[in-house]
Amino acid sequence: MSHVEDTVDKLLKGYDIRLRPDFGGAPVAVGMSIDVASIDRVSEVNMDYTLTMYFQQYWRDKRLAYAEIPLNLTLDNRVADQLWVPDTYFLNDKRSFVHGVTVKNRMIRLHPDGTVLYGLRITTTAACMMDLRRYPLDEQNCTLEIESYGYTTDDIEFYWKGGDRAVTGVTRIKLPQFSIVDYKLVSRNVVFSTGAYPRLSLSFKLKRNIGYFILQTYMPSVLITILSWVSFWINYDASAARVALGITTVLTMTTINTHLRETLPKIPYVKAIDMYLMGCFVFVFLALLEYAFVNYIFFGRGPQMQKKQAEKAQKANNERENFDGPKVNTCGNILLTTLETHNEVGGNDVETHNRSSSSSSSCAVFDSSGVLYRKPSGGREPGRLGPARDDQLKKTRLRRRSSQLRIKMPDLTNVNGIDRWSRIIFPFSFSLFNTIYWLYYVN
């Protein structure tokens, strides 16, 4: 035991911590390795993540070499204050600390050849600049930048000890919202105005788990949008029910949007989930406007327009009847109006039905109902009235065909028809919106 104490005292005696190993010679090669204990939190609001790790640094200091004991010496953590250590810091660090329960979590281990192992248990909160345009269907790269603060590449060099195996513990980490898809180690030199400095980078590729957002955001939005379509099956005169349902769904979508904005930073661009919620909000709002349109058609301008159209149609029919001339029945008789009958009888142009049967040119005939007809005579009248009757039949067929064409066209003044069309258009449009959205953002 005393031999070990003598060795340690000999190593520390005359040791100058102000000078790096091999001062004035080749730069000190410092190897680093990390054992990741946990990733505690990834925050989109603050754009950072919290990492707890065991951070080890290796370098060789010939001043600490010994040959008296063929053993490695693990010393008290307070010895680190008496030795030269690299001035390593985390470039993107926001807050960091070395754990101190029950003692300060530091380790110093000396090897006979002068190799020093310096280990720390550190929790650091590092900045992670995220691109949230595809949120929550996004992937993020969060890095940990390790750099020398004062020593340039002329004095110190950094490298990952063990290559790709320098970082361990990543595979056993489980995060609630993310999955660690991959990680990458990078070593490079960066140049500043004060010189070139060594830098090591550990980059985590994080893929967000969408299950939480499907249950908490997407599914409620879909169900609320579908719920707004129930008003299409409610009778149009039930104003209280349809208005209450429309306003409730609009306010619910507004609440979901507000809650989502509180959990995200105020960024200037539109996120993927914003596009979806805005689309759902538009469908819900249009469902409310659909009833406003139905109500306007039924109680507002719609009846006035129908009344005007009916008056125009009646006027057109009256003009058409006056233009078509006298009405002719199937027997070729001309039906006289009351005024014409009075004139005919008053002017003694026709006889009673007993006398008119002997007339050769024209006669007036009374049927059993007392309606007076003028009977065309045998030579001229059938030939003159035949084309008129053909024209009347042609016009009747044209009017029938035009009315059939109007029936086939959708009538916007029919409130029931508007609801029936809405039952088809809204679900189809929403399904198309979902198809385009998921194909674009997932692929």
Would you write out the chain's pLDDT as a tens digit for each of its 443 residues?
677 888 888 899 989 999 999 998 999 999 999 999 999 899 999 999 999 999 999 999 999 999 888 889 999 999 999 999 999 999 999 999 999 999 999 999 999 999 999 999 999 999 999 999 999 999 999 999 999 999 999 999 999 999 889 999 999 999 989 999 999 999 999 999 999 999 999 999 999 999 999 999 999 999 999 999 999 998 877 888 889 999 999 999 999 998 888 888 888 899 999 999 999 999 999 999 988 888 777 666 556 666 677 778 788 777 776 655 555 555 555 555 544 444 444 444 444 444 444 444 444 454 444 444 444 444 444 444 456 666 666 666 666 655 554 444 444 456 678 888 999 999 999 999 999 999 999 87
Sign of CA dihedral 319, 320, 325, 326: negative
144: number of CA atoms within 13 Å, CB side?
25
DSSP 300: S
Could you tell me how far CA 163 lies from the centroid of its own chain?
42
Pairing between strand 28-43 and 156-160?
parallel
DSSP conformational letter for 76 = -
Query: 282: helix, coil or strand?
Result: helix
Q: Are 165 and 39 in contact (CB under 8 A)?
A: no
| DSSP, res 237 | T
Structure tokens at 25: 């010679």
Residue 246's SS3 state is: helix
Distance CA 116, CA 57 (A): 8
pTM of the shown model: 0.69
Are 25 and 77 contacting, i.e. CB atoms less than 8 angstroms apart?
A: no
Burial label, 210 (beta-carbon count in 10 A; 0-12, 13-18, 19+): middle
**Which of 65, 107, 54 shows the shortest CA–CA distance to 85?**
107
